């Protein structure tokens, strides 16, 4: 069987949707999750990365994805399109339930390698995004910041928004997280994103290969460099 290069996506398929951690598929394949406010461009980015137009459902109506959606790539890793946060019209009852499911997934999923925290690069820093990123760091979830929709403002504005966001994070973060910029509409930023995935997959494989073989699934996040840390002197972060 030919060796499948992770960066070269040769197959992509929708695997399943889950309402909570219990409904998620097996913990064998390394996972990379997309999260961010509703409408930030999570589903569009899944499609852009996988080179498809309709693998993930893109919606003009914010808050319509309520499940954790799993996509299997090259039969050896997964992208997970998570529900967005921050839209009031999602019923309060539902919103609480998916917040709990998403938080549990982010904190407890052992094969989660990296979260791509999507932030709209065409807007100045939003409180919800800042709070959410702080929650990720406080919970030691490995994440990379991805500024989306870089086509929707002029490059100088996007750059200023990113710098503003980073400078706000630096008030509580020990070191800045890796930061990427992309546009699903202008098809830019794909290679840098895939490189993050490629490197994480290599770390996971090396981590597993160097251990005494067991029947345990690969522990995604344990094989990777430490997540950006929130300084311990802060009051506890609010969940978003």
Ligand X SMILES: Nc1nc2c(ncn2[C@@H]2O[C@H](COP(=O)(O)OP(=O)(O)O)[C@@H](O)[C@H]2O)c(=O)[nH]1
CA distance 238 to 240: 6
Q: Which is nearer to Mg ion, 67 or 179 (CB)?
A: 67
- Own/partner pairs for 1-9, CB < 8 Å, 24+ apart? 4/74, 4/75, 4/76, 5/74, 6/73, 6/74, 6/76, 6/77, 6/194, 6/197, 6/198, 6/201, 7/194, 7/195, 7/197, 7/198, 9/49, 9/50, 9/51, 9/73, 9/74, 9/194
Site membership for ligand X, residue 84 (CB under 6 A) = yes
Q: Which is nearer to Mg ion, 63 or 125 (CB)?
A: 63
Of the candidate residues 59, 99, 179, 205, the single one contacting ligand X (CB under 6 A): 59
Site membership for ligand X, residue 184 (CB under 6 A) = yes
8 is written with which tokens?
């070269």
Of the candidate residues 152, 153, 194, 208, the single one contacting ligand X (CB under 6 A): 152
Site membership for Mg ion, residue 50 (CB under 5 A) = no
* Helix (H) or strand (E) run with residue 237 in it: none
Site membership for Mg ion, residue 44 (CB under 5 A) = no
Q: How many residues bind ligand X (CB under 6 A)?
A: 20
User: C-beta of 65: minimal distance to ligand X in Å?
Assistant: 6
Residues that bind ligand X (CB under 6 A): 36, 38-44, 58-60, 65, 84, 148-149, 151-152, 183-185
Residues that bind Mg ion (CB under 5 A): 42-43, 65
């Amino acid at each position: 069987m030919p060796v499948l290069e992770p960066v070269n996506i040769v197959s992509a398929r929708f695997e399943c949707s889950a309402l909570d951690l219990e409904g998620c598929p097996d913990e064998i394949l390394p996972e990379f999750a997309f999260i961010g406010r509703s409408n930030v461009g999570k589903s569009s980015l899944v499609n852009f990365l996988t080179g498809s137009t309709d693998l993930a459902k893109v919606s003009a109506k914010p808050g319509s994805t309520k499940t954790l959606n799993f996509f299997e790539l090259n039969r050896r890793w997964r992208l997970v399109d998570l529900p967005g946060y921050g839209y009031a019209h999602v019923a309060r009852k539902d919103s609480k339930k998916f917040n709990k499911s998403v938080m549990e997934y982010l904190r407890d999923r052992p094969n989660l390698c990296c979260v791509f925290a999507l932030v709209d690069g065409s807007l100045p820093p939003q409180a919800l995004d800042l709070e959410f990123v702080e929650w990720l760091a406080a919970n030691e979830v490995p994440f990379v910041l991805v500024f989306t929709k870089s086509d929707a403002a002029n490059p100088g504005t996007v750059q200023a928004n990113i710098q503003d966001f980073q400078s706000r994070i630096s008030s509580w973060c020990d070191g800045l997280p890796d930061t990427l910029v992309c546009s699903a509409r202008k098809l830019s930023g794909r290679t840098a994103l895939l490189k993050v995935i490629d490197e994480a997959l290599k770390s996971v494989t090396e981590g597993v290969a160097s251990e005494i073989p067991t029947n345990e699934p690969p522990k995604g996040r344990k094989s990777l460099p430490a997540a950006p840390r929130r300084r311990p002197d802060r009051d506890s972060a609010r969940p978003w």
